[in-house]
Structure 1
Amino acid sequence: MTKLRLAIVGAGPAGIYAADILLKAEKQFDVSIDLFEHLPAPYGLVRYGVAPDHPRIKGVVNALREVLDRGDIRLFGNVHFGEDITLDDLKRHYNAVIFATGAVRDADLEIPGIDAAESYGAADFVSWFDGHPDVPRTWPLTAPSVGVIGNGNVALDISRILAKHAVDLLPTEVPQNVYEILEASPVTDVHVFGRRGPAQVKFTPLELRELGELRDVDMVVYDEDFDYDDASRAAIETNKQVKVIDRILQSWRQRDSVNNAGGTASRRLHLHFWAKPVEVRTDSEGRVAALVYERTTPDGEGGVAGTGELREVPMGQLYRAVGYFGSPLPGVPFDEKHGVIPNHEGQVISHDSNERIPGMYATGWIKRGPVGLIGHTKSDAMETVQHLVNDQGSWWQPEDPSEDAIPALLAERGVAWTDLEGWHRLDEHEISLGAPHERARIKVVPRDEMVKVSRAE
């Protein structure tokens, strides 16, 4: 019987779901799958892109764990594609590859002053508070007033972490270095800016509701933002999710903190709608001093139009959460405009000729851009895998498809890779670090320490 030797680059949800779907698919061949991950631990953005106080979302890890723990997928962690293993290596040892590398860079926001000191992208801040091994251990929380641009869940994650009292994060898996810096944070006011109205936000109701449950944090909304047009009213009436979001926001309008009148908490979280950022003002040293925004108004077609009215909110730091963007991979076609690998339903195509490139596939955010939740990731993987199965006639014909070849190759190159057993070791170690403090776990942050624990060195 024919055997498919498949490499998957990226061990986040997209890569793991693709492996699982392929193993369960009806096919006329056996399958052997190797997952390559540049981090020493698997799970991608579920481990390094979701705020530590989201245990319900992190429940996705349990489903991913079940897939890996079956034992029919090999994991090679701490392996950098393009350095430790190349596209030519994959062609020599596999029949095909699926790229599932996600999107971890920040999308650009082109307004004057956005590159000022104390202006940051969401991705870097999220990586820091999630204990990503490849970012600095420190973060300069120095300003009482900070701004967050964006009306999606990442913007809410950042706002919640900035506004929340650090002690309330202790039951989670927040890294110790992150807890200590948040504990010393001077932040009192977090301002969140979205260019559209309350009925057009990209938050999920769960995320929004959690904001209003923060201890000793007043939610500040502004009555002027709730003068709904027909399109907004229709969205509220016809869309259950929008209706719930509106109900939450309307409940906040009844609180004493509305329009800054009479709130009693030590911290405040302000939601500014109809606010299109136009400029970051800086001080004499080039640091963020204020955000200038233009008031917008509904255009009657679900979008917005500018009013010409400019407003300024003083602040000492700014975070932009306007979307993530994919990164190019050595030897792999890349669409610089959209931040994805060019593809047709997951089949990689040449960026110049639109011709299909045999043996190469994509799934997840590097395939379609950083939109959608876990459900989209699964259907994405299904589409890609279906093409892979049907394309048997155009698979690569590897010189050495033996399963021993990859460990031998990595050993020869001096790569200290981690495997599934090593991940179990690291997982148990982190849980044991948290146990004496009644914490879910304490993440090991330095890469070299993660590798040493994983490899029992």
Structure 2
Amino acid sequence: MSVNRVAVIGSGPSGAYTAQLLTEESEAPVEVDVFDRLPTPFGLVRYGVAPDHPRVKSITTSFADVFEETPGLRFLGNVRIGADLGIDELRSHYDAVVFANGAPLDRRLGIPGEDLSGVSAVREFVSWYQGHPDQDPDAFILDGTRAVVVGLGNVALDAARMLVRETEDLRRTDIPEHIVTAFSESTIDEVVVIGRRGPAFARFTNKEFIELLEVESTDVLIDPADLVLDASQQAQLDSDPAARRLFATFQKAAERGSLGRAKRIRFIFDRTPAEFLGDEKVTGLRLVRTSDPSKSEVLDVDLALRSVGYLGEPFAGLPFDDRTGTIPHRDSRVVDGDEVVPGVYVAGWIKRGPNGVVGTNRKCALETVTSILEDFAGRDRGPRGTDAAAVDALLRSRGVEVVDWRAWRDIEAAEIAEGEAAGRERVKLHRRDDLLRAAAGAELVGARAGV
């Protein structure tokens, strides 16, 4: 029987769920190749989910079971789509191509001083402490005393929490050893989290905020005056039970006040960043009241992180919506204007924008898989994709060092060995050449993984 072949671009949650559901839901034989530009799978679960959230990161175990136990499902890491393989080549080798490559770019504030040294996207900070191979390991030096985080999403809270974590807490995670050292040498003792809207519109979850309150080294401070609601905020609370629960926890934090702890995370609301101050390096941030721009204040700042959203990245040869940072689609089928692009689909953040939690991607992936299988069933001819050997031969001819699932397991073994050498459970390799050496079976313990 002929086999339908599908390429999935991206091995994060949306890509992994898409691959899993394709193999589970298809009544006809299907083979799925999951590509990733990194030598490692799992995308934002590995490089985005906070390292001190092991329960969320543990979903990689179920994804790993799918890759290991599903015939016809392959991982092909270290392959750059658009460079090592073109989109037209993918469409010629596969019956369907699913772009599930996330949203790797950042929204900007668009204010003066945003390009000063010391002002960064929170994504860059997260990539740094997570040991992302594309991030400079020396990108952040945590000197000074005050950091600001602009934004009220879960990632903003993750960044704030990581900035006050104690060294012993970090050593229980898999972040690289040089990152643990950098945090242990940090002199930052205050983090100011800035919301451009009022507290009723905070986007992080009540669970995330409660976790912050439980960090024993740190006071969490909210000025009760910032919790006085206007009509729009009251309407938000009236209509949203989750917002009411979070606001009630804000009130408890404000009542608790300072406990005299060594570090502080301070929340301020209804403030819009207007200008970063400084000559070459940021020294301050001018804020204006969102509800009354005639009122302003200046904060002294040593590190500034903006956490105001992510954007997808356009692919040559595919339509793209610059406003939303997504690939246009109709029922997960990519569309160029009013025309469907045959055989090309989307899933995850590149489809719907950066929203939801890890589990949200399963429902999104099921929508995509449903459309793919409907199209397969409605064709008046059989599959046209080539076999796996043809794709492998093409990549070999171009000198691409493909990291397959077995090679990924070798990387995992190397990271566990590095952890044992450092007295930790596991230490993430953060240099691409070390990842590729481990994938080839090279011995790395005591080499450069902690440098």
Q: TM-score range by the shorter chain?
A: over 0.9
> Given that residues 326 and 339 in structure 1 are in contact (C-alpha distance below 8 angstroms), is that contact kept between their aligned partners in structure 2?
yes
In 2, the alpha carbon distance for the partners of 1:367 and 1:230 equals: 34
Structure 1's 26 and 34: CA in aligned 2 closer, same or farther, altered over 3 A? closer
* Structure-2 residue corresponding to 1:368: 352
* Structure-2 residue corresponding to 1:56: 55
> Given that residues 349 and 356 in structure 1 are in contact (C-alpha distance below 8 angstroms), is that contact kept between their aligned partners in structure 2?
yes
CA shift digits 1:391-420 (9 cap, x unpaired): 225699887612211221111111111111
- The match for 2:424 among 439, 446, 452 is 439
* Structure-2 residue corresponding to 1:136: 136
> Given that residues 434 and 440 in structure 1 are in contact (C-alpha distance below 8 angstroms), is that contact kept between their aligned partners in structure 2?
yes
* Structure-2 residue corresponding to 1:293: 287
Give the secondary structure class of the aligned counterpart of 2:292: strand
Comparing 414-423 with 138-147, greater Cα deviation is found at 138-147
In 1, the alpha carbon distance for the partners of 2:383 and 2:170 equals: 50
User: Following superposition of structure 1 onto structure 2, how do residues 249-268 of structure 1 map, counting pairs within 5 Å?
Assistant: 249-257=250-258, 263-268=259-264
Comparing 398-407 with 323-332, greater Cα deviation is found at 398-407
In 2, the alpha carbon distance for the partners of 1:176 and 1:71 equals: 35
CA shift digits 1:251-304 (9 cap, x unpaired): 2222342xxxxx52221111011111122122xx332121111223xxxxxxxx
Amino acid at match of 2:156: A
In 2, the alpha carbon distance for the partners of 1:430 and 1:19 equals: 26
Is the aligned partner of 1:312 residue 2:311? Answer: no
Structure 1's 4 and 195: CA in aligned 2 closer, same or farther, altered over 3 A? same
> Given that residues 91 and 396 in structure 1 are in contact (C-alpha distance below 8 angstroms), is that contact kept between their aligned partners in structure 2?
no
> Given that residues 326 and 353 in structure 2 are in contact (C-alpha distance below 8 angstroms), is that contact kept between their aligned partners in structure 1?
yes
Amino acid at match of 2:388: E
- The match for 2:415 among 430, 444, 451 is 430
* Structure-2 residue corresponding to 1:343: 329
Give the secondary structure class of the aligned counterpart of 1:254: helix
* Structure-2 residue corresponding to 1:114: 114
In 1, the alpha carbon distance for the partners of 2:10 and 2:381 equals: 20
Structure 1's 409 and 399: CA in aligned 2 closer, same or farther, altered over 3 A? farther
Is the aligned partner of 1:377 residue 2:377? Answer: no
CA shift digits 1:170-208 (9 cap, x unpaired): 111121111111111110111110012222100111211
Is the aligned partner of 1:225 residue 2:210? Answer: no
In 1, the alpha carbon distance for the partners of 2:239 and 2:307 equals: 28
* Structure-1 residue corresponding to 2:194: 193
In 2, the alpha carbon distance for the partners of 1:397 and 1:406 equals: 20
CA shift digits 1:13-70 (9 cap, x unpaired): 111101111111153x210110111000100000011221111221222222222221
* Structure-1 residue corresponding to 2:3: 3
In 2, the alpha carbon distance for the partners of 1:364 and 1:158 equals: 23
Amino acid at match of 1:39: L
Comparing 243-252 with 263-272, greater Cα deviation is found at 243-252
Amino acid at match of 1:407: D
> Given that residues 5 and 385 in structure 2 are in contact (C-alpha distance below 8 angstroms), is that contact kept between their aligned partners in structure 1?
no
* Structure-2 residue corresponding to 1:323: 309
In 2, the alpha carbon distance for the partners of 1:159 and 1:168 equals: 15
CA shift digits 1:96-142 (9 cap, x unpaired): 10000001211121122222221101111111110000110112222
- The match for 1:408 among 384, 388, 393 is 393
User: Following superposition of structure 1 onto structure 2, how do residues 105-184 of structure 1 map, counting pairs within 5 Å?
Assistant: 105-138=105-138, 139-184=140-185
Amino acid at match of 1:36: F
* Structure-2 residue corresponding to 1:301: none
Amino acid at match of 2:324: H
Comparing 198-207 with 6-15, greater Cα deviation is found at 198-207
Amino acid at match of 1:385: V
In 1, the alpha carbon distance for the partners of 2:381 and 2:311 equals: 29
CA shift digits 1:299-334 (9 cap, x unpaired): xxxxxx435211111112211000111111232222
Structure 1's 396 and 92: CA in aligned 2 closer, same or farther, altered over 3 A? farther
* Structure-1 residue corresponding to 2:434: 449
> Given that residues 171 and 438 in structure 1 are in contact (C-alpha distance below 8 angstroms), is that contact kept between their aligned partners in structure 2?
no
Unaligned runs of 5+ in 1: 258-262, 297-304
Deviation of the 1:231 alpha carbon:
4.7
Give the secondary structure class of the aligned counterpart of 1:177: helix
Deviation of the 1:91 alpha carbon:
2.4
> Given that residues 96 and 396 in structure 1 are in contact (C-alpha distance below 8 angstroms), is that contact kept between their aligned partners in structure 2?
no
Is the aligned partner of 1:279 residue 2:275? Answer: yes
In 2, the alpha carbon distance for the partners of 1:48 and 1:382 equals: 24
In 1, the alpha carbon distance for the partners of 2:379 and 2:351 equals: 20
